Structure 1
Amino acid sequence: MNSRDVSFKERVANRLRYLWRLAIPLWKFRDANRGTIEQRIANYRFNREMRNILPFFMLKWAGIALCLMKMTELLSGLMLSNAAQSTDHLCATLLCMGAGIAFAFACIVLLVLTTSYLYLSCVER
């Protein structure tokens, strides 16, 4: 491998990490299950202070889930239309399946963010 390939791989990895951090805010929180008791308490307090960023991400993921649901509805309507040819039907089927799986993933992420926010808001240690 030459240095150009390594730098390209590093750039791709950095871009993917950046996109992941735009989508998921959990990297900003600290692990409150490890360390001494004082460290755990300090990490939990830090997480409680940082919980205010979670509603923005919950709205973001709710919007993503809504868009994916509408895309699934649109593609399933295309699959059901009589004018669709066999190749269009196959593409619409595969895209509809992908959109449905992505919708399920978005709902799971939304559920995790919501439960994290509620836990940090309601439970005091």
Structure 2
Amino acid sequence: MNIDVSNIRNDRSLPSLLYLYLWPLWIFENVNAGSFLERAAAYRRNRSKRVYLPGYTAKWTVIFGMLLAMLAALEGMANLFASWKFPFTLLACGTGILAILAFVVVVMTIAIYLLLTHWEF
């Protein structure tokens, strides 16, 4: 899915601001398009923008921790209220899926940072 970031940068609605605040890949350019010199310039630009990735990693690590805490609370409530066990279990499953996705974003951000830091073009 290709998102036109130029429209999102000018839009000041809450969803677009959340997208810019949380999603780290909007900063980077495609290094697979264009001539060799254009790809090299895009890679150099991406390499210079890698300094923002630890901030995104911290944000997503906090989100991951909050989702794990919510998961533990929902599991505890499911065990505490036997008549509401099924709804709390469903909410815990959904929270667990979101926690896995947050963990994937953390790992992906760290991998991109290490790749841009240690691999020369």
Shorter-chain TM-score tier = 0.7 to 0.9
Aligned identity (percent) is: 33
Separation in 1, partners of 2:41, 2:108: 22
Residues 1:52 and 2:48 are matched in the alignment: no
Give TM-score, length-normalised by structure 1: 0.81
RMSD over equivalenced CA pairs, Å: 1.2
**Residue segments in structure 2 that go unaligned for 5+ positions in a row:** 1-12
- CA deviations 1:81-118 (Å, max 9, x no partner) are 2xx142x3233112111110110110111111111000
Give TM-score, length-normalised by structure 2: 0.84
Please show how residues 91-106 of structure 1 align to structure 2 within 5 Å.
91-106=87-102
Separation in 1, partners of 2:14, 2:69: 28
User: Per the alignment, in what secondary structure is the counterpart of residue 20 of structure 1?
Assistant: helix
**Residue segments in structure 1 that go unaligned for 5+ positions in a row:** 1-13
Separation in 1, partners of 2:87, 2:113: 39
- CA deviations 1:29-51 (Å, max 9, x no partner) are 11111100000110000000000
Residues 1:72 and 2:61 are matched in the alignment: no
Separation in 2, partners of 1:28, 1:77: 40
Give the corresponding residue for 2:24: 25
Give the corresponding residue for 1:3: none
Q: How many residues align?
A: 109
Separation in 2, partners of 1:19, 1:94: 26
Give the corresponding residue for 2:117: 121
The farther-off stretch of 36-45 and 88-97 is 88-97
